[in-house]
Structure 1
């Protein structure tokens, strides 16, 4: 859930110092980490376990990801997902449903879910990691949604006083809670009903 920008470039520059990275090693490490997370969860993920699965030394893994938190953050928050932008072509309801669906699809993946929960554990132990690892990604995601909401305002589909950050919090928070933490037997979030609540709160008054 991000867009490429200066934050990503800065992070890449920091990671790129020293010996050049081997893309094949990176891919193998991430694949092994995802498999461990999906099958055994966050606690089972260790650099030793990844090294055994891949044949890549722990030194090499540490050189790319200095801690387990850095590795799971890549899985939880990395990738090329983009917030959908269909508000002009399909309207506000379609935009919100597409947004909620994208978030749900991402966090329904077992590896991403385990990584996301692992990041919460890591942040509790070391609050500084939240800013170090994820702040720029969240800011870019919020900016992307703000651009879409502002477009909706110009089109007369969204009230002028609607706060895009509030829409972000409701959309991301509701889907992540329902997907990762709900105790209901059926943990699928009610996307249509959540979308209706957001749209009714954001649409112009009749």
Structure 2
């Protein structure tokens, strides 16, 4: 579910000097540190500029706003959903899916970025369509394909709705990590996977 920097346009020739990947990395590292240690409200382009010594103009050339920078941290580099159902079975697929979500959003910077993006979407709804909708649509399409493969292999119940499964796996994991007052434990991801699995796997004949 990763994406390039939101302001990049691979179809348009770049003017001037090419971007320095070390500068990109320094900006992202500083933003992650601020998110992890001080939260979304503390993150600003000015704060990143002060932390890195990189000019605000250079940062804005890469990310059009704080929301774009935060979205890169929340969504960039996530990779595709695990797809092991054909080789390892439905249990391995569900556990891998929940574990991927759990491990990602347990990272303090990513958790803070995810919460921050929800705030940003409420303040400026157009950002949801620009930054979130394409990523969610792609992720849902991936899961639909995995579920369809599971049904074809007679591993998944025919009535299972892939979009509902997406909502349950993602929503439950994010709620427990980012909203709930109950601290997650070492077995939380497995406990969530167990419950999801019981609603997905086809019972042995």
Give the TM-score, by structure 1 length.
0.89
SS of equivalent residue, structure 2 residue 9: helix
Q: 1:151 to 1:9 in 2, by over 3 A?
A: farther
Displacement over 3 Å in runs of 4+: 8-12, 14-20
Which structure's residues are more often helix, by fraction? 1
Q: Does 1:130 align with 2:128?
A: yes
Give the TM-score, by structure 2 length.
0.89
Task: Answer whether contact 2:7 2:64 (CA < 8 A) is retained.
Answer: no
SS of equivalent residue, structure 2 residue 81: coil
Alignment match, 1:83: 81
RMSD: 2.2
Q: How far apart are the structure 2 equivalents of 1:121 and 1:56?
A: 26
* C-alpha deviation, 1:14, in angstroms: 6.7
Alignment match, 2:202: 204
Alignment match, 1:187: 184
Task: Answer whether contact 2:140 2:166 (CA < 8 A) is retained.
Answer: yes
Alignment match, 1:147: 145
* C-alpha deviation, 1:12, in angstroms: 3.7
SS of equivalent residue, structure 2 residue 168: helix
Task: Answer whether contact 2:5 2:62 (CA < 8 A) is retained.
Answer: no
Matches within 5 A, 1:1-206: 2=1, 12-13=8-9, 18-19=15-16, 20-184=18-182, 186-188=183-185, 190-205=188-203
Which residues of structure 1 form unaligned runs of 5+?
none
Task: Answer whether contact 2:95 2:190 (CA < 8 A) is retained.
Answer: yes
Task: Answer whether contact 1:3 1:141 (CA < 8 A) is retained.
Answer: no
